């Protein structure tokens, strides 16, 4: 009997900073990795999708890294996650506009729960 492999793996991260770091790491490769957002149980859930690239058994299986925020967010005032790392450390902000010298990661609002979040 063949072993069933899940459609996607959900990985909860500790902060929006973790998602920003993950999404911005792809910018060096000129790959845009937006952060998606939807509302679930009065929480804003942010997530990015990646895939296994090197582990043969799971090659191509989606990894969904997500963060649940209990903060009330205005979708009009939170269009980008901005990240900047310099000699003073890491700074992450959610903003309605981009800033020079920061990596701007767009937030894409989705209306329906993805199927993999229903479990």
Structure tokens given for 88: 């003073």
User: Model pTM?
Assistant: 0.81
| Antiparallel, parallel or unpaired: β 103-109 and 35-40 | parallel
User: What sign results for the dihedral spanned by CA atoms 108, 82, 29, 6?
Assistant: negative
Residue 89 to residue 50: CA distance in whole angstroms: 26
pLDDT at 6: 59
| Average pLDDT per consecutive 10 residues, the chain (119 residues; last block may be shorter) | 68 94 80 85 86 71 87 78 93 94 93 70
Distance of CA 50 to the CA centre of its chain: 9
Contact predicate 107/37, CB 8 Å: yes
Contact predicate 11/65, CB 8 Å: yes
pLDDT at 95: 92
């Amino acid at each position: 009997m063949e072993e069933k492999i899940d459609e996607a793996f959900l990985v909860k991260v500790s902060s929006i900073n973790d998602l920003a770091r993950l999404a911005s790491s792809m910018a060096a490769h000129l790959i845009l990795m937006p952060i998606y957002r939807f509302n679930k149980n009065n929480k804003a859930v942010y997530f990015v999708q990646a895939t296994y690239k090197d582990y043969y058994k799971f090659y191509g299986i989606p990894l969904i890294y997500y963060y649940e925020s209990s903060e009330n967010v205005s979708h009009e005032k939170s269009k980008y996650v901005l990240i900047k790392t310099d000699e003073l450390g890491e700074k992450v902000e959610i903003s309605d506009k981009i800033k020079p010298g920061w990596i701007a990661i767009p937030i894409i609002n989705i209306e329906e729960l993805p199927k993999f979040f229903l479990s």
